[in-house]
Amino acid sequence: MTALDTTPATTAATPAGPHAVTRAWRALRSSRTALVGLAVVAVHILVALLAPLLTSYDPIAGDASQALLGPSPQHWAGTDQYGRDVLARVLYGGRYALGVSVAATLVTVALGTVVGCAAALRGGWFDDLLGRVLDAILSVPSILALLVVVTALGTGPAVIVLAIAVVYVPQVVRVVRGAALAVVPMDYVTAARARGESTWAILRREVLPNITDVVCVEFAMRASWVVLLISSLSFLGFGADPPTPDWGLMVAENRTAITVVPMASLAPIIALATLVVGLNLAADGLAKAWGVDRIREGS
Amino acid sequence: MLSFTLRRLASAVGTLFLSSVLVFLAVQALPGDVATQILGKDATPDAVAALRQQLGLDRPAWERYVDWIKGALHGDFGTSLVSGKGVGGEVAQYLGNSALIAFVTVLFAVTGSLVLGVLAGLYRDRWPDHLISTVSLVGMSVPEFVVATVLVLCFSVALPWFPAVVLYGPEAGVGQLLPAVWLPALALAVVMAAYIVRMARTSVIDVMAGEFVTTARLKGLSTWRIVTRHALPSALLPTLHVIALNVAWLAGGVAVVENVFNYPGIGKLMLSSVQNRDLPVIQAIALVSAVIYVVCNLAADLGAMALNPRLRTRGRTR
Amino acid sequence: MTSVVSVDSLCVAYRSGGREVPVVREVSLEVAPGRTLALVGESGSGKSTVAATLLGHLRHGSRVTGGRVHVDGRDVFALPARELRQLRGGTVAMVAQNAGQALTPTMRIGRQIAEAGGEMPVVDLLDQVRLPRPAELARRYPHELSGGQQQRVAIAMAIAARPKVLVLDEPTTGLDVITQRGVLDLIAALRDELGLAAVLVSHDLGVVAHLADEVCVLNAGRVVEAAATRRLFTAPQDPYTKRLLASVPRLDDPGLAVVNEAGERTVRARAAVPDGAPVAVAASDVTVDYGSARAVHGVSFAVRRGEVLALVGESGSGKSTLAWTLAGLRTPSGGTMSHEAGDLGRPAPKRPLALRRRVQLVFQNADTSLNPRRSVGDAVSRPLRFFGTATGRTDADEQARRLISDVRLDPALADRLPAQLSGGQRQRIGIARALAGEPDVLIADEITTALDVSVQAEVLRLLDDLRRERDLACLFISHDLAVVRGVADRVVVLRRGVVVEEGPTEAVFGAPGHPYTRRLMAAALEPDPDAPGLPEDTPEWVDAAGTDGIWTDLGDGHRVRHWQPVNTPVAEGVS
């Protein structure tokens, strides 16, 4: 058989390009759910960035004479008990929620990915011990841990980011470890081991490229949880300090007046819910498009 | 089978031990100890030191840890800095009230979500699936305080069926609390069910695509029999752990909802003790939550053993 | 109408990315009562799809685009749901490929069989498929049975309701050769006993020759040839059938079979190992443990440069463990392994780089041996750079392309991802990657097991070429005796981690000395309907090594481990 074998395989039904970005984009385009979700999130980010252009009202300064107004041409969503424009507060409110959530999620997922991969690759006593410690952390309710940290160290954004990382890293580690464990027994990892490659090189070259999809989905998913947790914290009065515009805080402030000015409570609720729905849709869509939904659900 | 149970038990005890150490260390790491809390900011250093000695806070940390654990094993968690009562009794009282909510929540959330999840899985990509999946997606996207607020709006304000807030203290009887249980339980059940529905759906789809289900189909069995006898036992396995995690989550998850309804449960106690920096109470709640978490996971593992003959028959010879 | 199954220009297609991809095109066939028809073809030929339509079953996303399927006079795809259910199991029953996954893991097998209907008590059915202690077995769960037992249970389930037609989808794939022989004999016996019509799906021409009355050869969804079994095997008409038949290695080939486009086969004489070739790698008394279980028990061998040594055995014989230990992926718990460049007793990370690169492993499954996210060129150039064979990135890429063309592939494939290559192409890339270290010892761990027979022939040919060109010492691991016969110079037969026989290939195949070797050879199925059955009854035996020596030497390096016959009644071939 001297002729070179050039026949393309029939199994290659999906003409995947060699680059992860093209692959990701193709998966995205094929999933309407993911596109819708990401679009919703993008709108939220834009609104938060452009808030000063979208409203002329100050989200913090109130006008007592304008308190508790219903929706009107001047105040589309009415005003709250201090006479602050609800719409302005909702538009600005995304800044705090998104800023803190994105930072917290980034830290959490990055840390969780490194530790999870290391646990899967090293195995042995390291994996066992880590599993125990993570289980112990998970056994304390996240809201309690968060409350204690915040009361002790203050409610600054940096503190909240760190506290969330501590609370959610164990869960990310579990998911990533699970995904990495599916890759580690593969023969190409074994081949790299037989070559004598370092753990770090195996992680970077062989394992990470094969779990990027899981990590991305985990990011979207975890971001939605973080947004929920931060808003709950604010609602309980342990998060954003008044008068910072924040959705959770707004609901807490205006809840008692819900029969008088329902929009003051509903507007932040809608904003919050759409953001989280968007994140969840993105996570769902991506997971389905990449076929990683099974690994994730177990978390 | 016995060895599996024993090993699992030992591991549960190990986790509990680690959690207790973690909780103890975390509380130690907080700025200000019990003595400074009691005496306030303006106390002289001498007074603080004297109280420290009196409370035994000057002893090494490990000794205090051992004391704490010894007491905890007998139900003695020290005295509350706020009420001056025994922490053990106080936590038990609030916990009992929360258990009422938790029981109703788990009952409705677990049964309801399993039925819905299995339905969605069986009708994959058809309208019942789309409906159930969309509702559960919204359920997990809306924070508990929002669900609670909306429920109050609907069933206390618009239709005055249930009380919007509880007016009783922690010592209220079951009869007094019972009317106030339903709305918090419903709010929690919505959030909890969302996750279980999704897991149940995924694993049903997974199992229904398995070869043994195809074999059962090609045997000419009815769909009902295939689902109940062949698919469900395997499909419930992964769902069990998600149920356990969610039940354990209730220990902390009740905080927000109880606060909305002013319900005198463990979540309310948690909040007020954090606000008052009532360290012994915080420590006790954390430990109790850890116990709940470990017990739930243990129950899930033992349940999995009952469902999975591979685990059950391990060790039996071929 | 005399035929019990009749398929009339059946077309099946599945939807993929908005397009309809045909998988079965205009297939027609008939099966008369009591006859066995085999559907033969390589992967992707549509043979399993056709078989499943007899039960009115299509995979998710597939649909019938034309034609009809009649079973017992009924149009299967026109039946209402209720009657289709009665047809399944009652009239036509299926034995699936992998019984381990086809049985419900959470149900006792007795209940699963009872569910299939029929009046026969479960115990009688289990007895009928020659399973021992049926009453006790019925109370077991599937995972408590061996692979062969699971397959017998699946068969019992299929015949429970006394169907007229039995569909067998690769019924013995994945079973060891002796177990396979037992299951096939059982199927043949039951078929004759119950007067069943059978449709057998298989890629294994040996199985087909053994069992079928008629054969239907499928290629890319079309029937290319249909004939009575004997005629098809003796005088194939279609070039594809000819190539397929010629590609199957035979137990009596004195060398490697080479097949040309027209399907003519020539046997290439084995390259002689030059006298005085140095020993490249030697193992002495090697023992490997997994926890408390001993996988390899005191195995010794040596491979010279330019020589191919085959390790042969069933699953659990420890042959792959031995290969991985040699490659440095397991640590032996006893014995020594050495290479001319150093000690191989240590795991790979602790071996010096120069030694590591000289012993290279090629993996069994080409699907998992290449990183799906990296181009195949990258897979080959990485070891080039890692081992320092290449000096820079461009040099590595250039050398990688040269290696890819060395394994008879177009270097332009270097930019592709593994998923865009066929199984055979991937396996060649795996070989190219192993060659990148410029090894003198190549360990080939079941490298052709997952490949179709025509692709297998090409890969074997490549391996044979490479060891000539590069003077490689090659350790060839396989469960397939016919494949070994074509490529190996010497053979080592392993059973449960112990060597029972070793020697030059001709000597071992010509006069196997150990009853286990004999039984292995007797169980191997030749693609020839006239092949003799079990040539002799191999005696039941026990190991007798130790008391007075271990080996019986037959000369020329051919030696057999001591054994002695036992006089217990021969059990039916139950695994």
Chains that touch A (3 or more CB pairs under 8 A): B, C
At A104, is the pLDDT very low, low, confident or very high (cuts 50, 70, 90)?
Answer: very high
Whether residue C465 is predicted with pLDDT greater than 70 in this model: the reply is yes
Number of domains forming the structure of chain B: 1
d(CA C131, CA C127): 6
Among positive and negative, which fits the CA dihedral A5, A10, A11, A17? positive
How many angstroms separate the CA of residue A131 from the nearest CA in chain C?
22
Task: Say if residues B318 and C144 touch (Cβ distance below 8 Å).
Answer: yes
Q: Poorest-confidence range of A16-25, A84-93, C387-396, C555-564? A: A16-25
pLDDT, tens digit, for every residue of C208-246?
A: 998 999 999 999 899 999 999 999 999 999 999 999 999
Residue A6 confidence (pLDDT): 44
> What's the pLDDT score for residue B69?
86
The predicted structure's pLDDT at residue A11: 36
Residues of chain A numbered 257-286 and touching chain B (CB < 8 Å): 258-259, 262, 265, 269, 272-273, 276-277, 279-281, 284
Most confident by average pLDDT, A189-193, A293-297, B179-183: A189-193
**Residue A263 to residues A257, B21, B187, C74: CA-CA distances in angstroms?**
10, 47, 21, 66
Q: What average pLDDT score do residues C243-252 get?
A: 88
Beta-bridge partners for C223: C218
Give the pLDDT score at B1: 66
Q: Which has the higher per-residue pLDDT, B277 or B216?
A: B216
Probe site for chain A from C266, C358, C371 (most A CB atoms < 10 A): C371
Query: Model pTM?
Result: 0.83
Which domains are delineated in chain C? 1-81+194-246 (3.40.50.300), 292-318+325-347+479-575 (no CATH)
Cα gap C325→C66, rounded to integer Å: 54
Q: How far is CA B77 from CA B18, B94, C301, C552, in A?
A: 18, 15, 69, 77
For residue A228, the chain B residue with the least C-alpha distance is B143
Confidence at residue A18, expressed as pLDDT on a 0 to 100 scale? 46
Distance from CA of A197 to the nearest CA of B (A): 35
Q: Where are the domains of chain A?
A: 20-54+74-290
Average pLDDT, chain C: 88
Residue C430: per-residue pLDDT: 94
Query: What local confidence, expressed as pLDDT, does residue A238 receive?
Result: 83
Question: How far apart are the C-alpha atoms of C136 and C138, rounded to whole Å?
Answer: 5
Q: Give the residue-averaged pLDDT of C359-379.
A: 89
8 Å CB contact between B249 and B192: yes
Chains within contact range of chain B (3+ C-beta pairs < 8 Å): A, C
Instruction: Band the pLDDT of A293: cuts 50, 70, 90.
Output: low
Banded model confidence at residue A1, pLDDT cuts 50, 70, 90:
very low
Question: Which tokens sit at C200?
Answer: 């057998």
- As a three-state string, the secondary structure of A171-189 is HHHHHHHHHHHHHCCCHHH
For C159, which residue in chain B has the nearest alpha carbon? B219
Does residue B216 sit within a domain? yes
Q: Where are the beta strands (DSSP E) in A174-297?
A: none
pLDDT digits (tens, 9 = 90+) for B126-178: 899 999 988 988 888 888 888 888 888 888 878 888 887 777 777 777 777 78
pLDDT of A278 above 80: yes
SS3 B250: helix
Instruction: For residue C154, list chain B residues with Cβ-Cβ distance below 8 A.
Output: 215
**Model pLDDT, residue B149:** 84
Q: Is residue B200 part of a domain?
A: yes
Is position B15 within any domain?
A: no
Q: Is the pLDDT of residue C282 over 90?
A: yes
Does residue B125 lie in a domain region?
Answer: yes
> Given 3.40.50.300, 1.10.260.40, 2.60.120.10, 1.10.3720.10, which CATH number is that of A20-54+74-290?
1.10.3720.10
pLDDT for position C476: 95
pLDDT surpasses 90 at C360: yes
Per-residue pLDDT of A108-150, as tens digits, reads: 999 999 999 989 988 888 888 898 889 898 888 888 888 888 8
- Residues 6+ away with beta carbon under 8 Å from C163: C89, C90, C91, C92, C93, C196
- Beta-carbon contacts of B107 under 8 Å, excluding residues fewer than 6 positions away, are none
pLDDT at B46: 82
Query: Does C371 sit within 8 Å of A209, measured CB to CB?
Result: yes
Label residue C575 by pLDDT band (50, 70, 90).
Answer: very low
Average pLDDT over all residues of chain B: 85
Domain that holds residue B106: 87-277
Residue C293 has pLDDT above 50, yes or no: yes
The per-residue pLDDT for C460 is 92
**pLDDT given for residue A13 in this prediction:** 36
From C566's Cα to the closest Cα of chain B, the distance in A is 24
Q: Tell me: the pLDDT tens digits for C189-207?
A: 999 998 899 999 998 898 9
C144 to chain B: nearest residue by CA?
Answer: B318
Interface membership of B307 toward C (CB under 8 Å): yes
B78 in a domain, yes or no?
no
Higher pLDDT, C253 or C282: C282
CATH number at residue B190: 1.10.3720.10
If you count residue pairs, one on A and one on C, with CB atoms under 8 Å apart, how many are there? 97
Task: Compute the nearest-CA separation of A47 from chain C (Å).
Answer: 36
Query: Which DSSP helix (H) or strand (E) runs through C301?
Result: strand C293-304
Among C44, C363, C419, whose Cβ lies nearest the Cβ of A12? C419
The proportion of chain A whose per-residue pLDDT surpasses 70, expressed as a percent, equals: 88
Query: Among residues C525, C476, C516, C519, which one has the least CA distance to residue C495?
Result: C516
Asked if C2 and C164 count as a contact pair (C-beta separation under 8 A), the reply is: no
Q: How many CB pairs under 8 A join B and C?
A: 80
DSSP single-letter state for residue C144: G
Interface test with B, best of A148, A168, A225, A253 (most B CBs within 10 A): A148
Alpha carbon distance A262, B187 (integer Å): 20
pLDDT at A4: 47
Question: Is 50 exceeded by the pLDDT of residue B3?
Answer: yes
- Let me know if B48 is exposed, middle or buried by CB neighbors in 10 A (0-12, 13-18, 19+): middle
Split at pLDDT 50, 70, 90, the class of C534 is low
C269 pLDDT tier (thresholds 50, 70, 90): confident
Q: How many Cβ atoms from other residues are within 10 Å of residue A208's Cβ?
A: 18
Q: Pick from B114, B112, B117: which is nearest to B129 by CA?
A: B117
Q: Is residue B212 within 8 Å of residue B230, measured between CB atoms? A: yes
In a domain, B290, yes or no: no
Task: Report the relative pairing of strands C256-259 and C490-495 from DSSP bridges.
Answer: unpaired
Cβ of C419 within 8 Å of Cβ of A6? The answer is no
Q: Which residue of C has its CA nearest to A188?
A: C369
From chain A, the residues in CB contact with C425 under 8 A are 5, 9
β-pair partners for C15: C20
List, for residues B44-100, the tens digit of each pLDDT value.
788 878 877 777 777 888 888 888 888 888 878 887 877 778 888 888 888 988 999
Tell me if B82 is assigned to some domain.
Answer: no
- What's the pLDDT band for C533 if we cut at 50, 70, 90? low
Q: What is the pLDDT of residue C433?
A: 94
Residue at B117 is within a domain = yes
